[in-house]
Chain A
Amino acid sequence: MLDLIWLVPAFPLAGFLVLLAVGRRLGEGRAGWLATGAMAGSFLTTLGVFAALLGRDARDRSSVTTLFEWVPAGDLSVDVGFLADPLSLTMCLFITGVGALIHLYSIGYMHGDDDFSRFFAYMNLFAFSMLVLVLADNLLLTFLGWEGVGACSYLLISFWFSDPANATAGKKAFITNRIGDWGFMVAMFALFFAVGSLEYLEVFETVASGGLVRSTATFVTVMLFVGAVGKSAQFPLYLWLPDAMAGPTPVSALIHAATMVTSGVYLLTRINPLLAEAAGWAPGMIAWVGAATALFAATVAVAQNDIKKVLAYSTVSQLGFMFLAVGCGAYTAAIFHMITHAFFKALLFLGAGSVIHSMDGDQDLRHYGGLRALMPVTGATFIIGWLAIAGVPPFAGFWSKDEILAFAWNEHPALWAVGLVAALLTGFYMTRQVVLTFFGRSRYSDVRPGEDESEGAARAEHQPHESPWTMTVPLVVLAALSAVGGFIQLPFGSGTKWLEHWLAPAMFHNEAHLELGAGTLWLLALVAMATAAAGIGVGIATYLKGRIDPAAFERPILAEAWRLDHIVSDLMGGPGRTSFEITTRFDEQVVDGAVDGMGTAVRSAAGVLRRFQNGLVRTYSTGVAVGAVALLFWFLSRSAL
């Protein structure tokens, strides 16, 4: 079964190719079901491989299936090979599982879209790239998947490209990601230069035998971290993710919440032997960047009015928690939070999509209210997602976030404090979103500023309604997973840490160890619970009971994301643009000048020579005659000597 691992990415690839070739002729129903079927096939194959791997001895749970030699170039030899180990399999399980659910959901969500089959073709291509990214047994193949998911992200953000704003958002995502990709490439060059191979297992062997000096390991780690910062939307390259919400909502759920943005965390977890070898400040930097991002994005999420923007900043914040965990050496906690986050964030995004769908594309929280009665399934599942992300036990998010905070405390209390404030804000802004959407008075038929009476009345006639079953079934499944997903890793002694034991072969004993007593852990858990409760409580007091003025929290500076977008725009538009123009001028005048100068020199020299070829036979024959006479004289003068 293990050698069938290639089928996992092959299913979505086949789906993509079929949809590309005959998608338009298939019609809506069949195209959607074909793509969903491909994902389901991939998921079932993953389950089979997972079972086969589980049947093996723990030390033997790593198998490389090489398909063919991809880049044979002198010393550099790169294969297309798939590494099946607990880490990649865990990733595959939730990518294909959550992916299949989101495909199913998309059938309902994208119903009636002109480019229905194009959407599913891109989605399948994305799933293929993502699976290549996690299954690759070397960095170059990972990079292929890395670029593939970036391209699909671009294609799907600007899916409705007739609106210039969507096209711009796509470009922004693509260009910001290029900065990260630069780091990834530099890391690959350095690693190949130092080790002579890009295969993970070979690199790890070299590291284990001490064949890599500390400074190189640090450099490679930092450069890969730059790549991860770009892809996983960490500070300061997070700028693209909130704009990426311009894409259809299932795209936001699959790519910009559950899977693609977590690939930076996956990459850093995958290279944990390098991270362990790097100088001590590198993991510390990762932890601090993660913590800062978590706090920063959480503050911004508090003041957003677009339902998807709240979730986008929330995603950035939760990714910050994962980086915090990686920086603290808590790789299992990072993967754990990645899994639970995939469940509840996909659920929240799909729930938001369901709301947007029934509100005819309106994404403004201020226009919702009281939707729980009109959309019971969406409302109930969204509330479960809310409890999970806010960290209420026993829902999934509590367990993973609590574990990360415990490791943060273990590393440095300041990291823990920052994480705790971010968790507090998480509880608050999610409560705000849930209350504004599902509780309180219905506001969809209210007359909005700048409208007259009739427009509000016209909206009142089209009551929001529950979504079709293709959309609610994924919601229910994801809600169930968000509720119980935390039980794969419980902190009650070694026996209940199933995920940690399962992932252990891929961690090479680089996992940090908690040096905290049971009492401290209980205390930390209680503080985390109290924090979540406080966040939720303040949220309810503000938005449901109206005891606190919302303006106290919704500061304009927060709504504008600390004006960072503007600062970057001003910097790039002002001094940045000037420096680009100087570079362009240098290119035009010096670089192009040298090239053009060669051309001009050849031209003018040729202009002189051209005069001799005037096309007149007599001129040529004169030349021949003069030449012959000159030669004759030369010979004669030589023989005379």
Chain B
Amino acid sequence: MTVTTTWYLVLAAVLFSTGSVGLLVRRNPLVMVMCVELMLNAVNLTFVSLGTHLGDLGGQLAVFFVLVVAAAEVVVGLALIVAIMRRRPGATADDLSLLGG
């Protein structure tokens, strides 16, 4: 049984779905950020696998971009979470609805 590109794509789809469901059902901001990371990396996986499959370096190139952006996003996101947790210990994402109309 050879591991084909399809396997990777299926794994990526599973990871992406896990991440998105996690984002929708969890309320802990930290876990939500982790879910977002999971979704990003599922997409990275599709890039790499399809890039290899089609023999195109562009897929792997895109992954670097995503990694850099994700790193920056995590820095900002974690900083926000730390700041929020200091002010309101134990806050969930649902508590942070000050911008609601």
A622 to B32, CA, bound (A): 13
Q: Does A617 contact B (CB under 8 A)?
A: yes
A615 touches B24 (CB 8 A): no
Q: Which of B94, B98, B99, B100 contacts A618 (CB 8 A)?
A: B94
Q: Does B101 contact A (CB under 8 A)?
A: yes
Chain A residue contacts of B20, Cβ below 8 A: 621, 625
Task: Name the interface residues of B68-100: CB closer than 8 Å to any CB of A.
Answer: 93-94, 96-100
Q: Does B45 contact A (CB under 8 A)?
A: no
Residue of A nearest to B36 (CB): A621
Q: Which of A611, A615, A622 contacts B98 (CB 8 A)?
A: A615
Task: Name the interface residues of A588-617: CB closer than 8 Å to any CB of B.
Answer: 609-617
A625 to B17, CA, bound (A): 10
Q: Does B23 contact A (CB under 8 A)?
A: yes
A616 touches B97 (CB 8 A): yes
A617 to B24, CA, bound (A): 9
Chain B residue contacts of A615, Cβ below 8 A: 96-101
B101 touches A613 (CB 8 A): yes
A621 to B27, CA, bound (A): 12
Also in contact, A617 and B32, with CB within 8 A (given A622-B24, A625-B24)? yes
A280 to B89, CA, bound (A): 94
Chain B residue contacts of A622, Cβ below 8 A: 24
Chain A residue contacts of B100, Cβ below 8 A: 613-616
Chain A residue contacts of B27, Cβ below 8 A: 618
Count residues on chain A whose CB falls below 8 Å from chain B CBs: 13
A168 to B90, CA, bound (A): 70
A610 to B99, CA, bound (A): 11
Per-residue contact bits, chain B 17-53, to A (CB 8 Å; 1 contact, 0 not): 0001001100100001000000000000000000000
Residue of B nearest to A609 (CB): B101
B24 touches A614 (CB 8 A): no
Cβ distance B37 to chain A, nearest Cβ, rounded Å: 14
Chain A residue contacts of B98, Cβ below 8 A: 615
Cβ distance B76 to chain A, nearest Cβ, rounded Å: 15
Chain B residue contacts of A609, Cβ below 8 A: 101
Residue of A nearest to B26 (CB): A618
Cβ distance A12 to chain B, nearest Cβ, rounded Å: 62
Cβ distance A212 to chain B, nearest Cβ, rounded Å: 64
Best-surrounded residue of B32, B93, B94, B101 (most CB of chain A within 10 A):
B101
A616 to B99, CA, bound (A): 9
B24 touches A616 (CB 8 A): no
Residue of B nearest to A610 (CB): B101
A610 to B100, CA, bound (A): 8
Cβ distance B14 to chain A, nearest Cβ, rounded Å: 16
Chain B residue contacts of A612, Cβ below 8 A: 101
A617 touches B96 (CB 8 A): yes
B23 touches A613 (CB 8 A): no
Cβ distance A367 to chain B, nearest Cβ, rounded Å: 76
Cβ distance A515 to chain B, nearest Cβ, rounded Å: 87
Cβ distance B24 to chain A, nearest Cβ, rounded Å: 6
B99 touches A621 (CB 8 A): no
A625 to B23, CA, bound (A): 10
Chain B residue contacts of A625, Cβ below 8 A: 20, 24
Cβ distance A466 to chain B, nearest Cβ, rounded Å: 82
Also in contact, A617 and B93, with CB within 8 A (given A622-B24, A625-B20, A625-B24)? yes
Cβ distance B7 to chain A, nearest Cβ, rounded Å: 21
Residue of B nearest to A625 (CB): B20
A625 to B32, CA, bound (A): 15
Can you name 25 A-B pairs with beta carbons within 8 Å? Answer: A610-B101, A613-B99, A613-B101, A614-B97, A614-B100, A615-B96, A615-B98, A615-B99, A615-B100, A615-B101, A616-B93, A616-B94, A616-B100, A617-B32, A617-B93, A617-B96, A618-B23, A618-B24, A618-B27, A618-B93, A618-B94, A621-B20, A621-B23, A622-B24, A625-B20
Task: Show the binding face of A for B, using Cβ within 8 Å.
Answer: 609-618, 621-622, 625
Task: Show the binding face of B for A, using Cβ within 8 Å.
Answer: 20, 23-24, 27, 32, 93-94, 96-101
Knowing that A609-B101, A618-B94 touch, tell me 17 more A-B residue pairs with CB under 8 angstroms.
A610-B101, A613-B101, A614-B100, A615-B97, A615-B100, A615-B101, A616-B93, A616-B94, A616-B100, A617-B93, A618-B23, A618-B24, A618-B27, A621-B20, A621-B23, A621-B24, A625-B24
